[in-house]
Structure 1
Amino acid sequence: MLTYDVRVWGIRSRNSKSAPFQLRWLVGGTQHQQPFQTKTQADGRRSELLSAVRNREQFDTKTGLPASELRALNSPTWYAHACAYALMKWPEAAAKHRVGIAEALTNVTPVLVTTTKGSPDPKLLRYALRSWAFQATRTTDGDHASRKDVTPPPDEVTAALRWIAEHSLQLAEVGESAHLRRALTALSRKLDGSRAADNTFRRKRTVLSSAFRYAVELDLMPNNPLSRIDWAPPQTDDEVDFGYVPGPAQARELMKAVQGQGLRGEHLHSFFGCLYYAATRPSEAAHLKRTDCKLPKHGWGELLLQGSRPEVGSGWTDDGKSYEERGLKRRARKSSSHLVGSR
């Protein structure tokens, strides 16, 4: 139990050759003591306790430690916390969001380590993290668990995950400025070292911030450390270059060429037509059915958007399909949208 009821007493001598000085303090009525070899050591520890009292920090009645020290003592590694966070988010997250969480955590975890000596091949480590540590699956009881804990990974994946587990920083250390800046830099770069798009960085930073907020919720961190870091990603130019945007005539030629590629081409002709003329998202166009389309030969037509079907891969969906049936983005789950235009 944590309490503000703390009294720190003076240092006293005792009959001991190995530790002749003793510091005593009272926490919530429970006495605690610590022996020291020199008075200087005892004075230093007393100053630390008094500083915690002045900072209005609570103390733990069982151990006698300030809350910050207790938090550091019980701190898991960043890797363990990241696995727990990904598993916590999995049940309620959309498949695309699950992928986004895994990608962001995979970006930062390899740089939040105590050393890079003996580290696995970067490509192998990314695969082990993304597809085993941060991917979940159902157990025989119907609950969710990390894939690595349900299905035995290949030997090389097991070795990679063992290395990262042994060399990952303690969560209490991750909040230090140098470590946070390495993590943010990793989020702002592609695998080839070039700058990532601004939207990509913001999306991944949101995941990192959410992981820290979860640590605060579990009382593993006092606050979200990102709020005190003055860091901005390298500037990128995300403005659309209209020299590369096809005009109506060029778009018709492109879609006509696609249409001539057989049955698959006929399908893609309609797909790209929805993207270009109706400005649908790819997942919305993939969800369209013939009954959702009213397309007369002349005059105005209509598309009824009732959902989306993003492709994500079978490992990220609950039913094992390569896609997920979802509602329209940023809409109520059963809402629909009408698009009207002329041919």
Structure 2
Amino acid sequence: MKSTDVKFWDVRRNKSSKTASYEVRWVVAGRQRSRTRRTKALAESFLSDLRQAAKSGEAFDIDTGLPTSMLPKQVPVTWYELARTYIKAKWPGAAGETRKSTLDALATVTPALVSSTNGAPSATVLRRALLHYGLNPPRWKFPVPAEEAAALKWLGSRSLRVTDLAEADVIRSALNAIAVTMTGRPAAATTVARKRAVLYNVLKYAVRERRLLDANPIDQVDWKAPEKIEQVDRSVVANPAQARQLLAAVTYVGRLSGRGARMRAMYACMYYGGLRPSEAIGLRRQDCELPDLCACVGDCSCDLPASAWGRLTLTKSRPRPGRLYTDSGQSHEEKGLKRRPVGDKRLVPIPPELVRILAEHLEQFGTAEDGRLFATSTGGTVSASAVWRIWHAARVIGLSPEQQTTPLAGRPYDLRHACATLLLNAGVPPKEVARRLGHSVEVLWKVYAGCLDGDEERINRLIEKALAT
């Protein structure tokens, strides 16, 4: 901030110092300023410079008290320097997944903001150098391998100044960079939107906190990101018979080692309980209320019910951002529920079918030392890659060749989509469906509106009735 509201006082002897010195005093926008000089002549000369600046109409910087002509000359800040400053400021309070997505976006756009590509390292080396060293604050203290060090040195010498991004062509080149993959193919709309958000926030930081730009240049450019498709594709949703078939197929994957059998109950939690994969991975025995059910065949005299609902109390999740992005250096991190305050809980009723599956799982595999239901044979955390590999193998076993070529249950996450669709089509109130899945009613309708049964037929009947009148 600057102001022309300036007043000056005469030079005075500095009585607080044992050695002789003289104090120059003035006021800028009501804030008193002072500077000390060793001699009266030097003090009066400095005061004269201030008076001349004010007389010529210069604005004075309120923070420093100096006129524009006397402000220290700043070395231009490059985009690479800004990106490092931004990630350092945001790193401590960010979750691992947020760190990962931020670095991914910055590693995409930073190589595009250079003055020249002469002598550029390969895109793969430069990206690795940025993710592992250049943009990763905890790793700045580590020695950098020669190849990556050379790549970062090249980038540092050619990175554009932040002020260059005010040019429309420059900021458009940055936006174009996030719109394609490393192979040059169009990036997914959700990926583009995520990376654009990171770029926008870095530039907002440059405007508001660093004052390197007068306005966010993205707002000045006519550039449109591809439209995001937020609705779930109905073709990915498995019906109950298909879901049971796939859950059975999981047990045949790695049958000798039991790898698939260990995972069946976890996939079942996604389908019958609507859990996110990270929530299922973090599920503990103490989170489960599992009533004892009758396991007798034929007539029995036990007092146990044949079916009863249980309940899961979700408090934690275990996402896997990767060891580059966690404080512990482990691939997974333990955190609360997504978009919930720390310590918040979500109660999820579970049907008798899932109660039985979980009881069978506990009887056969027990729990990890910390109470987790789903762990590797050595008690470790189940990796995201294992969740994907076993599910894809189960699709080969559980689906027909024709079905395997379709998107049907193509990802483990599609089991959660199938759960939401099942509940909505069963007539469960949307507010309750949203509560069980852990998001808002607005998101529920936005994502699952295309998966509801009956609307087309009902609307067709209404039109027929109108045409008949």
The aligned counterpart of 1:276 is 271
Contact 2:105–2:199 (CA under 8 A) maintained in structure 1? yes
CA deviation map 1:121-140 (0-9, x unaligned): 00110111112111121xxx
Q: Which has the higher strand share?
A: 1
The aligned counterpart of 2:338 is 329
Report the Cα distance in structure 2 between the residues aligned to 1:328 and 1:30, rounded to whole angstroms.
61
The answer to whether the aligner puts 1:183 opposite 2:174 as a matched pair is yes
CA deviation map 1:275-312 (0-9, x unaligned): 22222111111110122122344221211111111012
Q: Which amino acid aligns with 2:278?
A: S
CA deviation map 1:225-252 (0-9, x unaligned): 2222221113465653322332222221
The aligned counterpart of 1:267 is 262
Report the Cα distance in structure 2 between the residues aligned to 1:219 and 1:114, rounded to whole angstroms.
22
Contact 1:311–1:322 (CA under 8 A) maintained in structure 2? yes
The answer to whether the aligner puts 1:106 opposite 2:115 as a matched pair is no
The aligned counterpart of 2:324 is 315
Report the Cα distance in structure 2 between the residues aligned to 1:203 and 1:77, rounded to whole angstroms.
23
Report the Cα distance in structure 2 between the residues aligned to 1:278 and 1:232, rounded to whole angstroms.
38
Contact 1:258–1:268 (CA under 8 A) maintained in structure 2? yes
Contact 1:5–1:28 (CA under 8 A) maintained in structure 2? no
Q: Which amino acid aligns with 1:64?
A: S
The aligned counterpart of 2:80 is 79
Of 216, 222, 242, the residue aligned with 1:224 is 216
Report the Cα distance in structure 1 between the residues aligned to 2:228 and 2:198, rounded to whole angstroms.
21
Report the Cα distance in structure 2 between the residues aligned to 1:170 and 1:27, rounded to whole angstroms.
32
The aligned counterpart of 1:247 is 239
Report the Cα distance in structure 1 between the residues aligned to 2:104 and 2:50, rounded to whole angstroms.
46
* CA shift in 2, pair 1:279/1:177, >3 Å: same
SS for the counterpart of 1:339 is strand
1:1-343 to structure 2, matched below 5 A, reads 2-4=2-4, 29-30=51-52, 61=66, 64=69, 74-137=75-138, 147=139, 149-216=140-207, 217-235=209-227, 237=229, 239-261=231-253, 262-296=257-291, 297=293, 298-342=307-351, 343=353
* CA shift in 2, pair 1:229/1:57, >3 Å: farther
Deviation of residue 2 (structure 1)? 4.5
SS for the counterpart of 1:151 is coil
RMSD in angstroms over aligned alpha carbons?
A: 2.8
Q: Which amino acid aligns with 1:158?
A: A
* CA shift in 2, pair 1:277/1:195, >3 Å: farther
Report the Cα distance in structure 2 between the residues aligned to 1:85 and 1:323, rounded to whole angstroms.
24
Deviation of residue 157 (structure 1)? 0.1
Q: Which amino acid aligns with 1:325?
A: E
CA deviation map 1:66-95 (0-9, x unaligned): x9xx89x53211001101111111111111
Report the Cα distance in structure 2 between the residues aligned to 1:5 and 1:293, rounded to whole angstroms.
68
Q: Which amino acid aligns with 2:69?
A: G
Q: TM-score, normalization: structure 1? A: 0.76
Contact 1:255–1:272 (CA under 8 A) maintained in structure 2? yes
Report the Cα distance in structure 1 between the residues aligned to 2:342 and 2:86, rounded to whole angstroms.
25
Percent identical: 38
The aligned counterpart of 2:440 is none
CA deviation map 1:32-91 (0-9, x unaligned): 9xxxxxxxxxxxxxxxx99xx8xx9979946628x9xx89x5321100110111111111
Q: Which amino acid aligns with 1:272?
A: Y
Report the Cα distance in structure 1 between the residues aligned to 2:170 and 2:227, rounded to whole angstroms.
21
Report the Cα distance in structure 1 between the residues aligned to 2:49 and 2:185, rounded to whole angstroms.
54
SS for the counterpart of 1:304 is strand
The structure with the larger Rg is 2
Deviation of residue 322 (structure 1)? 1.4
Report the Cα distance in structure 2 between the residues aligned to 1:28 and 1:276, rounded to whole angstroms.
73
Aligned residues: 290
Q: Which amino acid aligns with 1:230?
A: D
Contact 1:77–1:170 (CA under 8 A) maintained in structure 2? yes
Deviation of residue 31 (structure 1)? 5.0
Contact 1:271–1:286 (CA under 8 A) maintained in structure 2? yes
Q: Where in structure 2 are there 5+ consecutive unaligned residues?
A: 7-47, 294-306, 354-469
Q: Which amino acid aligns with 2:283?
A: L
Contact 2:60–2:68 (CA under 8 A) maintained in structure 1? no
SS for the counterpart of 1:340 is strand
SS for the counterpart of 2:347 is strand
Deviation of residue 257 (structure 1)? 1.5
Contact 1:2–1:61 (CA under 8 A) maintained in structure 2? no
Report the Cα distance in structure 2 between the residues aligned to 1:230 and 1:337, rounded to whole angstroms.
43
